[in-house]
Amino acid sequence: MNDKLRVVHYLNQFFGQIGGEDKAGITPIDKPGHVGPGMALAAALGDAAQIVGTVICGDTYFGENMDKATDEVVELISKYQPDLVIAGPAFNAGRYGTACGAVCAAVAERLKVPVVSGMYPENPGVDMFRSKVYIVETGDSAAGMRQAVPKMAALALKLVAGQAVSPAVDGYVSRGIRENYFAETTGAARAVEMLVKKLKGDAFTTEYPMPKFDRVEPNAPIADMSKATIALVTSGGIVPKGNPDHIESSSASKFGRYSLEGVDTLTADSHQTAHGGYDPVYANQNPNRVLPVDVMRDLEREGVIGKLHNTFYATVGNGTSVANAKKYAAAIANELVEAKVQGVVLTST
Amino acid sequence: MVKEIERAGIPVVHMCTVVPISLTVGANRIVPTVAIPHPLGNPALTPAEEKSLRRSLVERALNALSTPVEGQQVFDK
């Protein structure tokens, strides 16, 4: 007997060293001790804890049988009488993240022990389980393992010890829990205090943080517009008539690149919008209202700009995830850099 | 999307109607436009007037691309 903290680790078939997608259908199994990334986790937890068992389940099996798989996994976990359960990290693997979240939520509810997982913020498992589970923010791939594991271990140990934790200090995704406390001044006084600080340009801390978006520094301006190649990009869904790439009207799964070779203007016969998030009548009547090809061609002829890039790019910005929009734009940007485009006009509806 | 293009090193101007969204997502050069379903047009105008409106907005966008900015700037005139 020893009095070390008993930890159970949940992994998918890949990290559990069973196999790849061909093994994603396996039903839950357990192995004593640590497996795969469990070794690093054990090291990060230190001498006070011991990974007594690892439970492994195939991602597809879990995804297709969520309720049953949750029951089976929790059953295997409970065998080890854990004091703490850690799942993943799952990075940006959607099915794995969902499984980690479901396992953790069920363990917390049924076994009443602390649970911690780790995921990339865009992992769908985050939005599904963030309110119930401490999910440490990780990178989007296993390359982030070395950063993720110590954070998960540190948070887990604090939770077991009953110490206070917060998203800012411990690096987990906000669970959206508001804690009641007695402030010394009323909300009105605090708000005015904040406003005064803001007006003075002093630092202040909001009591209701908005979602974070990262920032990119502006690039230097174009020195000589009359020699510059300018490209048109739109999230307003302008595509050739018939929408040849079948870009979806919402939650677009792709972007399109379309030639403007010999195109002097867009018409109701040549182009349309594929966007399902705004009234398409005006854009369909005259697609230049969203993608100003007619005016750009005039400016090109007059020598105001050097050249209109002969390819335009379009997607539908309607319910499209930030991650996807980012991915499409990064791919578009890559092609624009290759084509030596010097400036971009991006239109949105 | 603007951010990824900016990140790649190409100056980009965002022409959109809902400027607060553009500010929130982090566009640096922003030109406010007419309306969500027709940012660069106005069906109430004659075709000639509409095209000239569109031209003035695009010229403003090109001006934005030619202007050095620090942080975010809305080019509303």
Q: Dump pLDDT digits (tens) for B13-55.
A: 999 987 877 887 789 999 999 988 899 999 999 999 999 999 9
Lowest mean pLDDT among A145-149, A151-155, A239-243, A321-325: A321-325
Residue of A282, A329, A336 lying closest to B37 (CB–CB): A282
- Residue A1, pLDDT above cutoff 50: no
Last residue of a domain, one of A170, A202, A236: A170
Chains A–B, number of C-beta pairs less than 8 Å apart: 173
A191: its two tokens: 């708000």
Last residue of a domain, one of A106, A138, A170: A170
- Residues A20, A159, single domain; the answer is yes
Site from A234, A254, A275, A346 to mutate, B interface, most B CB atoms within 10 angstroms:
A346
> Looking at the 3D structure of chain B, how many domains does it have?
1
**Averaged pLDDT for residues A325-332:** 94
Residue in B closest to A291 by C-alpha: B40
Give the pLDDT confidence of A187-221 residue by residue, as tens digits: 999 999 999 999 999 998 888 776 665 789 999 99
Q: Do B55 and A213 touch (CB under 8 A)?
A: no
B23 vs A contacts (CB less than 8 Å): none
A343 vs B contacts (CB less than 8 Å): 10-13, 62, 65
C-alpha distance from B57 to closest chain A C-alpha (Å): 10
Instruction: Provide the β-strand partners of residue A49.
Output: A5
Residue A231 confidence class, pLDDT cut points 50, 70, 90: very high
Could you check whether the bond before residue B11 is cis, i.e. omega within 30 degrees of 0? Answer: no
- Residue A274, pLDDT above cutoff 70: yes
β-strands A256-259, A311-314 pairing: antiparallel
The answer to whether the beta carbons of residues A269 and A284 sit under 8 Å apart is no
- Residue A165, pLDDT above cutoff 50: yes
β-strands A238-240, A311-314 pairing: unpaired
Give the pLDDT confidence of A307-319 residue by residue, as tens digits: 999 999 999 987 6
C-alpha distance from A213 to closest chain B C-alpha (Å): 6
Helix axes A293-301, B47-65, angle to 10 degrees: 70
- Residues A331, A240, single domain; the answer is yes
Question: A198 in a domain, yes or no?
Answer: no
State how far the Cα of A347 lies from the Cα of A254, in Å rounded to an integer.
17
- Residues A33, A133, single domain; the answer is yes
Question: A209 in a domain, yes or no?
Answer: no
Q: Where in the sequence is the domain holding A336, given as residue range(s)? A: 225-347
Q: Do B55 and A345 touch (CB under 8 A)?
A: no
- Residues A19, A152, single domain; the answer is yes
- Residues A159, A232, single domain; the answer is no
Question: A263 in a domain, yes or no?
Answer: yes
Q: In Å, how far from its chain's centre is CA A317?
A: 16
**Averaged pLDDT for residues A248-254:** 88
Q: Where in the sequence is the domain holding B18, given as residue range(s)? A: 2-74
- Residues A25, A121, single domain; the answer is yes
Compute CA distances A120 → A66, A85, A137, A148, whole Å.
21, 19, 6, 10
Give the pLDDT confidence of A12-32 residue by residue, as tens digits: 999 999 998 778 889 999 999
Q: Does A323 touch chain B (CB under 8 A)?
A: no
Per-residue confidence (pLDDT) for residue A212, from 0 to 100: 60
Per-residue confidence (pLDDT) for residue A41, from 0 to 100: 97
> In a 10 Å sphere around its CB, with 0-12 CB exposed, 13-18 middle and 19+ buried, how is residue A242 labelled?
exposed
Last residue of a domain, one of A143, A170, A197: A170
State how far the Cα of A310 lies from the Cα of A300, in Å rounded to an integer.
12
Lowest mean pLDDT among A61-65, A150-154, A263-267, A289-293: A61-65
pLDDT averaged over every residue in chain A: 92
Residue A266 confidence class, pLDDT cut points 50, 70, 90: very high
Q: Do A214 and B26 touch (CB under 8 A)?
A: yes
**Averaged pLDDT for residues A163-192:** 89
> Looking at the 3D structure of chain A, how many domains does it have?
2
